[in-house]
Structures are given as C-alpha cells and as structure tokens.
Amino acid sequence: MFQTISPSDIRDLDREIDEYDFLDADDIDEFNKYLYQPSRSTKDKQRMWALLDKSLKIIMKCPEKEQMEIKITMRRFLKGYCFLIQATAYENIEFHKRYNFMSYLIKELNPGSGGNNFDIADKITVSDFRQKQMEEHTGGEIEAKPEVKIKKPKPASLEEQQKKKLSQIIDEVNALYDKDYEPDFTTKAAMQLRDLLLKNDEFKERLKKSAKSNPIDEFKFTYDDCIQDALVEGYDQNADFYTLLLNNEEVRAKFASVFMLRYTRFSVTRRMINSRGG
C-alpha cells in the first residue's frame, strides 16, 4: 500500500533485494542493452532468457519461505518504483535498469503468467540524465553551530500499524497465489471487517465473555468464529447493497451524483482555463 512512497523507501527495498544476492549488475546492464535495441534476433532473446534464468536458478535454490520473501520484496520494489516515477519527477538510471530486469524475472517466477516477449512498449521510460554544475556560490566563513535539535518522532497510531501489517499480508497473498489485489482497496475491505466486530453487540459480547473465562489459545477459537460470522455478514451487506444499486436507478443516481461532482468541477475548471487561453 503506497499512501506515501519516497526515494529512501525504494533504496531500502533495493538493499533488501541485494541481501538475497540473486542479481548481478553486469547481467542487468547486458539485459537492458538488448531490451532497448530497436529489434532483437532469436539469439538475442535466448541470451536475455539465459540472463533471467541465471537469477532464477539462484532463487530456486533458496528455501521455499525465502523464495516467497524474495517475490514479495520484488513486487514491493516494482510497484513502489513504478508509482514513484509516474507520480513525481524522480529518475534513477540504475534503479530503472533493475526495475526492467525484475519486471521480467518475476514473470519467470510465476509459470503461466504469459511468458516474456521482451516488449518495452508498455513499460515506463526514463530519460538519460547527467549532473551538471549550474553555478557556484562563494561567501564568507560560516560560523559552526554544532547544536542540533531533533524533533521526537510521533509514534504510529494503532490503526496505521494495522494498515501497514495488512498491506504486508496482501503482498504475501499476491506473491503466494499469483494475485494482483490492489493494496489500498483490499486493506479498506479488511478494516471494514474490524469495524463489524467493533460495532456488532453480539460479537462484542461473545468476545468479551470468552476473553474473561478462557486462556488465549481457547479464546482464539471464539475469535475465529466471530471473524467468519463477520465475513458472512459483511458479504451479505455488500451483496444486498450492490444489488439495490444495480436494480434501483433512482437510488443509484443519488449515490453516483456524489462522485460525479468531483469530475464536473474538474471539467468546469478546464473550460475556464481553455477560455482564458483563447
């Protein structure tokens, strides 16, 4: 889940990936050289598959749990980097090369995902860039003031911690079952389950009684039963609500108008800008 993502987050993920030691910098450079060629021969593609296979074999030698961790970390890097480069002006050539390589490698880790045709038409692009000194500032000596005041970090709220944990679980589910559940949407659905437990008096009473009279191992059985009942209730509520919206045009229009307001405001703003430009 990427409510916020920064270059430092991507660097952290990159360091995590390096710890598994399945990537080779020279292989990544060679792979990208082939990838950005205007056309590729059969021999070129065979070499690209061989480079991917080299990393794949290293991963497959790892214990099953570690393989899952690698897939999860790769997915987080790919989604995070993709989000960052599209939402901001961030560019990093080395990270982009790794993004390209791993976006094809993860397909090899998921048999049946369609294979690799090495087509960059649908990939995000990054322009070549170089650092350039624009100007130089000189001035008198600056008095050193070594005293630094650091703000105390605010502890994360319980809800933030829960959302972060849920996001990690969703990453695991995506990696284990080759799914692509959208983290933000799925996390909200899971938080709805929590709300059902908190707001339903029957669930609260059952959990309270069980917590008072049972050790934690036995309380878990009651908790699991309540979770399953809450899932059924949440499914029934949503199914009934969506059925109402599908079958009742008047009610559907009322709800739809709430969201349409945002787009009409955008449309009006665009017309005003265009008229001024004309």
- What confidence score (pLDDT) does residue 44 get? 92
| Boundaries of every domain in the chain | 7-109, 182-277
DSSP string for 49-78: HHHHHHHHHHHHTS-HHHHHHHHHHHHHHH
DSSP 151: P
CB distance 178 to 79 below 8 Å: no
Q: Residue 97 has what pLDDT?
A: 93
pLDDT at residue 259, rounded to an integer: 62
Matching residue, tokens 């659905």? 189
Give the tokens for residue 159.
């809800």
Q: What is the pLDDT of residue 4?
A: 64
Q: What is the pLDDT at residue 20? A: 94
d(CA 184, CA 189): 9
Averaged pLDDT, groups of 10, the chain, 278 residues long:
70 93 95 89 92 94 90 88 79 90 88 56 44 47 47 53 76 73 76 81 85 83 81 78 80 73 52 54
Q: What is the pLDDT of residue 137?
A: 47
Tell me what pLDDT residue 181 has. 78
Q: CB of 196 within 8 A of CB of 230? A: yes
Reported pTM: 0.51
Cα 100 to Cα 90: distance, rounded to the nearest angstrom: 16
Quick one: pLDDT at residue 165? Answer: 76
